[in-house]
Amino acid sequence: MKKVGVLTGGGDCPGLNATIRAVVRKCIIDYDYEMYGILEGWRGLIEGKVKTLDLENVSGILPKGGTIIGTSRTNPFGKNNAGDPEKILDTIKKLDLDAIVSIGGEDTQGVAHKLFEMGVNIVSIPKTIDNDLMGTDYTFGFDTAVNIATEAIDRLHTTAESHNRVMVVEVMGRHAGWIATFSGIAGGADVILIPEKPVKINEVCELLKKRHKRGKRFSIVVVSEGIKIQFENKEDEDFVLKDAKTDAFGHVTLGGVGTVLAKMIERGTGFESRCTVLGHILRGGTPSAFDRILGTRFGIAAAELIHKGEFGKMVVLKGNEILTIDLKDVSGQTKTVDDYWYNIARVFFG
């Protein structure tokens, strides 16, 4: 009988529960393993906080957003976390866990890789609404976030048109503009601004003026929270970065760039502008069918890896196939929007 712990780390996203359910069911039904949920990400392993997962408590969670085992941005290898990796090894020993399934984004995968190198039997599953993890075509959570953003853009279109306004829609996306690019293409955005393609504000204003010259009286601008705008004055820069906090992995808490952008667009074009920040709405609620199925496939593949004793790997989607990649090839890397996608989006600018 093997004992397996499952944890979810980093920001939550739709599809986590579908994935937990799949790992637990496959491990219990096909392999007769004993399953534990490690509570609140790596913090649960540091503090020894776990709960039993069985067929009963993973029942009914498939369509639920969030994660039934909680999550956190705890970084056991952070600068204020001396001794935490050792506490993790202790917990694993005390609970007699044979393997860990870590479900998370780039930071979680980085920690998983370090623990694997310290001898922990780890298998990873990629999740993030940002879709910026190396090695996989898609992460679950992304499709749901894109659908929510697209619906918001559709709704903003009608109010923009009624009031002859420019509507700036800010979406999540710290290092990569996948959500902005996909929802912008699907929603018919007139400009998409992403971290990968820095653009000057006056170029954005020119695109909008060109569009309005053609007779259009409203525009939609989709922007990733992570864009670096070239500020024209210190006041705008201070506004975006004011009260900025950093998390355990050193990331600045983002959100707010769209508001500054709307002000700058209004000043540069003379068109009345407004901003809507979608933020955490993109992470909440029920997962799309695509994300439920992807999470389910990932969960089952991770259970199979444990059964085969193949550790230090992350399951990935390539085309329509579930494959694996070594954790060492994932950590510290970001999958950014490439020219193929940007060139599709660009055709509809202005």
Footprint on this chain of ligand F6P (rule: CB under 6 A): 10-11, 105, 128-130, 172-174, 225, 247, 253-254
Which residue, 27 or 223, has its beta carbon nearer to ligand F6P? 223
| Residues classed as catalytic | 130
How far apart are CB 159 and ligand F6P at their closest, in Å? 25
Of the CA atoms within 13 Å of residue 134, those in its CB half-sphere come to 15
In the complex, minimum distance from the CB of residue 146 to ligand F6P, in angstroms, rounded to a whole number: 13
**122 vs 172 by CB, closer to ligand F6P:** 172
- Taking the complex as a whole, the smallest distance from the CB of residue 92 to ligand F6P amounts, in Å, to 26
Three-state SS for 115? Answer: helix
**Max CA separation in the chain (angstroms):** 71
Contact yes or no for 281/182 (Cβ under 8 A): no
What region, left, alpha or beta, does residue 89 occupy, with left being phi > 0 and alpha being psi -120 to 50 degrees?
alpha
Q: Comparing C-alpha atoms, which of 315, 223, 214 is closest to residue 265?
A: 223
Query: What's the chain's Rg over C-alpha atoms?
Result: 22
Our CB check for ligand F6P shows the closer of 10 and 135 to be 10
Give me the phi and psi of 129, to 5 degrees please.
-65, -20
CB of residue 246 to ligand F6P, shortest distance in Å: 10
Whole-number Å distance between alpha carbons of 63 and 250: 32
Give every strand in the sheet of 99-104, ordered side by side. Answer: 50-53, 34-38, 3-8, 99-104, 122-126, 313-318, 321-326
Closer Cβ to ligand F6P, 225 or 304, answer by number: 225
* Nearest to 109, CA basis, from 79, 81, 139: 139
- 94 phi and psi angles, rounded to 5 deg: -60, -45
Q: Is 173 or 187 the residue whose CB approaches ligand F6P more closely?
A: 173
In whole angstroms, the minimum distance from the beta carbon of 225 to ligand F6P comes to 6
Beta bridge partners of 212: none
User: What count of residues does the chain have?
Assistant: 350
Q: How far is the CB of 217 from ligand F6P (least distance, A)?
A: 32
- Please identify the residue of the shown chain whose CB is closest to the bound ligand F6P: 11
Cβ proximity to ligand F6P: between 202 and 253 the closer is: 253
